[in-house]
Amino acid sequence: MRKTTLILVLFMSSIVCWSSEPITDYRNPKIAIDVRIQDLLSRMTLEEKIGQMNQFVGLKHIQKNMGVLTEEELKTNTANAFYPGVSIRSLEEITKNGLIGSYLHVLTIEEANYLQSLAMKSRLQIPILFGIDAIHGNANAPDNTVYPTNIGLASSFDVPMAYTIARQTAKEMRAMNMHWTFNPNVEVARDPRWGRVGETFGEDPYLVSLMGAASVKGYQGNLNSDDNVLACIKHFVGGSQSINGTNGAPTDLSERTIREVFFPPFKAGVDAGAMSIMMAHNELNGIPCHSNEWLMKDVLRDEWKFKGFVVSDWMDIEHIYDLHATAENKKEAYYQSIMAGMDLHMHGVDWNNLVVELVKEGRISERRIDESVRKILDIKFRLGLFENPYADENQTMKIRLNPEHRTTALEASRNSIVLLKNKNILPIAPKIKNVLVTGINANDQNILGDWSAVQKDENVITILQGLQMIAPNVKYKFVDQGWNPQKMDSKQVDKAAELAKSSDLNIVVAGEYMMRHRWNEKTSGEDKDRSDIYLVGLQEELIRKVAASGKPTVLILVTGRPLSIERVLDNVDAVVLAWEPGMYGGQAIAEILYGKINPSAKLPVSIPRNAGQIQMIYNHKPSQYFHPYAVGSSEPLFPFGYGLSYNTYKYSNLKLSKANISKTENITVSVDITNMGKMDGFEIAQMYIRDRFSQVTRPVKELKDFARVSLKPGETKTVKFSITPEKLTFLDKKLNPIVESGEFIVMVGSSSQDNDLMKDSFFVKE
C-alpha cells in the first residue's frame, strides 16, 4: 500500500511539475502575455531591466562615424553618432549579456539578424526591438519603397492612402527585421522656417489628426501579427512653433493653444491605439519636455489613459543637463526624466550604470523601473519577437519593393502634386518638341526627400527621366546646375539662359536639398531651419534669366517646406509644387505636365509671401489682420486648401438639413459639384465652420470635413457632410469642452479663401 501511495505521489508530482512550467514560463506563447511578462520580470536582474530601457545606435553606423566625427561634434549632431571609448566588441558583449533592449540606425537585415543573434546568447534571450525612422516608407534603409513624404500625402487629403502606405511600410520593415517606426509625426506645422515641415501633415489639427490616426492603424494593426510594427507619435509637444522657427528652440504657448491646436492630433493617435510616443526636443513654457511631468503623467497617462511607453528623442535627456540646465549632471537628468514618466532612453552608454546607481541609492524605486520595463516587454511579446526574432534573408526582397507597393508609391505621388499656377500652358501641347530642362532638382535623387537613403538608380525615376519616358519624341536639352543650391555656377545659369532662347518650352526644377547622406549641405529637413523662405542660391536668377527668353516657362518646386516664390511668380507661366514626391516622382510629375494625369492635390499649409508674414495660417483669430501691414500684403501667397486642376469645378445648391438644432443633434450639409472641364478628375471639397459669437475668441474658420470626389466631364455629384456636436465643441473660459448656443456659419468650397466658399448658417438652441 505504501509503495502504491509513493508511486501515486511521485506521479502526481511529475504532473504538477510538467504542467506548472508552461503556466509560468515566459517562453511559452500559449499563456497570457501579462503572465509571461510577470514571469520574465521575476527572473531579471536590475541591470537587465534598466538595459531594456536603453537604446543604442547600430554597429555599422558607429563604424561609419568613428573616424569622421569628433567628440565635440557629437554634442550638436543629431543624425550621426559613436561612443567615445567604447569599441564595437564591447557593444557586442553588452548585447550578449542582455543589457541592451533596443537599437536604432540599423539599416540592413543582415545587421539586424546579427545583433539579434547576439541577444539570443544572453541569459534570458530577450529579443532586441529595432527602431528606424520609416517616415515615408522604410526609405532610410536601401532597397525599400519610397513614398511621398507626409506633407505630400497630406496634400492628397486621402486618408485611406495614409493607412495603405503605413500598412505596406510595416510589411517592408518586418521583412528587414525592423519593428518600430518613429512615425507618424503629428506636430501641427505653423512656421515654414522650421526644417521638418515635410515630416508633418500640415497646419490644420483636424487634417493632421485624421492622417496620423490612419497611419497608426496602418502600422500597428492589432500588434499581434508578424507584419505589424509599433507606431510612434511624435514629438510631444510644441516643437513646430518654437520662438524662432528652429528645431529644439524654446516654445512658449498658452495652455489654450496647446489644447486646441497641438494636443488634438496626439490625442487622436492615442485613441487610434498608438503604443509609443516620443517627447519633443524643446522646452515648453520653461520646462524641458523630457522632464515634463504634466505632459507625460497628467495628460498622457491620467487624462488620455495612454497604455504604451514614452521614448526620448536623440540624447534629449542629456540635454536637460547640458543644454536646458535644469539638472546639474547627467545622473540628475536621468532621475528627473524617469520620475516625470520617461520609459526608454535614446541613446547612449551612461544610462545603464547611472540609473542602476539611482535605484541602489533609493532615489528611484525598482517598482518604478518595472513599470517601464513591463510596457517595453509587452510590445516585444505582442509583436511575436520571442518566437520569431529573425527575418528571412531569402524572402526579404519578395516583400520589399514588390509591384503592389510600387504601384501605391506612384499613385500617392500623382495625388500629392499641387498645381499652383497655370496660364494655359499646361498640359504641354503635342506641338512642343524642343524643351529645356534645368535646375538643381531636375535629375537628382533628391526627389526622394528627407529621411531617405540613396537608392539604386533603377528604383528611382528623376524628373528628367520621367519626361523622357512620358514624352519620348520630345527633344530635351538638359543643363545641369548641380545638386547643391548653395554652390551654383553662374556660368551654368547663363548657359541655360542662352539655350532657353531656342526652346519651345522651358522647365526649371528648383527648391531645396534634403538628402541626408550630405548632412552639412542640406537646406531643408531635420535641423535645417531657415531665417527666410526664399529660394537658396542663384535659383531666382536662373528662373528670371530663363524666363527672359520670352518662351513659356514652367517652374517645378521640389521641397520639404513652403517656399516663397513671390519675387519670380510673375516671370513664369506655370508653377507645380511637387513636395518630396518619392521614388516615382519624376514619372508622376511628367504625367501631370503632359496631361496624362489631372492634378488634384491641395495645399495642407498656407504659403506666406515672405518670412515677415509668419505666422501665416488660415485658421487665425478675427483680430489678426484688423490692422493690415503698412507695407506689403496681409494675404498669403497661396492659401490653405488651394490647388488647381485642368478642370473647373462648379459648386452649387448648398443646403443644410436643419436651420435649428439642439446641442446633441447632428446636421447634414450637402452641396452639388459639377465638373465643367474635359478631363476626368478629383476635386477635394472642403467644409469649414465658424462660431459666429462665443465666450472666447474662435478662429475665422476651421476645417471640419473634406471629401475627395471623382467626377467625369459634365458629371454632377451631391456631396454630404455631417456636423456632429463634437465638431462644434470648443474650450470655454476655464478650458472645459462645451457646445455653445448661437449661430454657426458653414462654408463649403475648393479652398479656405473666402471667394472660393459658399456660405450658410444654422443655430444651436439651448
Identify whether the C-beta of residue 540 lies closer than 8 Å to the C-beta of residue 549: no
Q: What is the C-alpha to C-alpha distance for residues 212 and 162, in angstroms, rounded to an integer?
A: 8
- Which of 133, 191, 313, 343 is flagged as catalytic? 313
**Span 386-400, mean pLDDT?**
98
What is the phi/psi pair of residue 157, to 5°? 50, 35
Task: Evaluate if residue 119 carries a pLDDT over 60.
Answer: yes
pLDDT (0 to 100) of residue 70:
82
Task: Evaluate if residue 409 carries a pLDDT over 60.
Answer: yes
For 138-195, what is the HEC assignment? CCCCCCCCCCCCHHHHHHCCCHHHHHHHHHHHHHHHHCCCCCEECCCECCCCCCCCCC
pLDDT (0 to 100) of residue 333:
98
Neighbours of 706 (CB within 10 A): 22
Local confidence band at 77 (pLDDT 50, 70, 90 cut-offs):
confident
- Of 522, 514, 536, 533, nearest to 136 by C-alpha is 514
Task: Evaluate if residue 5 carries a pLDDT over 90.
Answer: no
Locus of grid cell 493653444: 257
**Span 526-538, mean pLDDT?**
97
pLDDT digits (tens, 9 = 90+) for 205-231: 999 999 999 999 999 999 988 999 999
Task: Evaluate if residue 10 carries a pLDDT over 60.
Answer: no
pLDDT (0 to 100) of residue 11:
36
pLDDT (0 to 100) of residue 13:
37
**Span 587-611, mean pLDDT?**
98
Fill in the DSSP letter of residue 226: T
pLDDT (0 to 100) of residue 23:
59
DSSP 25-59: -TT-TTS-HHHHHHHHHHH--HHHHHHHTEEEE-H
pLDDT (0 to 100) of residue 79:
82
Looking at the DSSP assignment, which residues form a beta bridge with residue 251? Answer: 284
pLDDT digits (tens, 9 = 90+) for 342-361: 999 999 999 999 999 999 99
**Span 269-294, mean pLDDT?**
98
Angle at 200 between CA 196 and CA 201, to 5 degrees: 150
Task: Evaluate if residue 408 carries a pLDDT over 60.
Answer: yes
Task: Evaluate if residue 12 carries a pLDDT over 70.
Answer: no
**Span 171-192, mean pLDDT?**
98
pLDDT digits (tens, 9 = 90+) for 229-265: 999 999 999 999 999 999 999 999 999 999 999 999 9
pLDDT (0 to 100) of residue 66:
87
Q: What are the b/e assignments for 279-311, b being 16+ CB within 10 Å?
A: bbbbbbeebbbbbbebbbbebbeeebebebbbb
Locus of grid cell 528645431: 247
Task: Evaluate if residue 22 carries a pLDDT over 90.
Answer: no
pLDDT digits (tens, 9 = 90+) for 413-458: 999 999 999 999 999 999 999 999 999 999 999 999 999 999 999 9
**Span 265-279, mean pLDDT?**
98
Task: Evaluate if residue 698 carries a pLDDT over 80.
Answer: yes
pLDDT (0 to 100) of residue 505:
98
pLDDT (0 to 100) of residue 676:
98
Task: Evaluate if residue 81 carries a pLDDT over 70.
Answer: yes
Grouping H, G, I as helix, E, B as strand and the rest as coil, residue 404 is helix
* Prediction pTM value: 0.96
Q: 328 to each of 50, 155, 344, how far by Cα in Å?
A: 22, 45, 21
**Span 511-539, mean pLDDT?**
97
Task: Evaluate if residue 7 carries a pLDDT over 80.
Answer: no
Average predicted confidence (pLDDT) for the chain? 95
pLDDT digits (tens, 9 = 90+) for 284-335: 999 999 999 999 999 999 999 999 999 999 999 999 999 999 999 999 999 9
Grouping H, G, I as helix, E, B as strand and the rest as coil, residue 325 is coil
Active site residue 313: yes
Label residue 505 exposed, middle or buried (CB < 10 Å: 0-12, 13-18, 19+).
buried
- Of 484, 452, 493, nearest to 144 by C-alpha is 452
Quick one: how far is CA 584 from the chain centroid?
19
Q: What is the C-alpha to C-alpha distance for residues 368 and 364, in angstroms, rounded to an integer?
A: 7
The residue among 41 and 74 whose pLDDT is bigger is 41
Hey, what's the torsion of the CAs at 538, 542, 544, 548, to 10 degrees? 150
**Span 486-497, mean pLDDT?**
98
Strands lying side by side in the sheet with 233-236: 233-236, 276-279, 309-311
Q: What is the C-alpha to C-alpha distance for residues 574 and 553, in angstroms, rounded to an integer?
A: 7
